[in-house]
Amino acid sequence: MKATAIILFIIAVEIALLIGLRIQEQYQETRYFNNCVEDIKIAKIKADDPIAFCSGLVRQDPYLFTFNKGKVAKYLKENEPKSEKKSDNNKEQK
pLDDT tens digits, 57-91: 888 878 877 887 878 777 776 666 665 555 555 55
The reported pLDDT for the residue numbered 76 is: 72
Residue 94, pLDDT above cutoff 60: no
Radius of gyration of the chain (CA): 23
Most confident range, picked from 10-14, 25-29, 58-62: 10-14
In single-letter form, the type of residue at position 77 comes to: K
Residue 41, pLDDT above cutoff 70: yes
Whole-model pTM: value is: 0.56
Of all residues in the chain, what percent are helix, strand and coil, respectively (each to 5)? 80, 0, 20
Task: Give the angle subtended at the CA of 75 by the CAs of 71 and 81, to the nearest 5°.
Answer: 145
Q: For the chain, how many structural domains are there in total?
A: 1
Structural domain of residue 77, as residue ranges? 2-93
What is the secondary structure of 8-19 as a DSSP string? HHHHHHHHHHHH
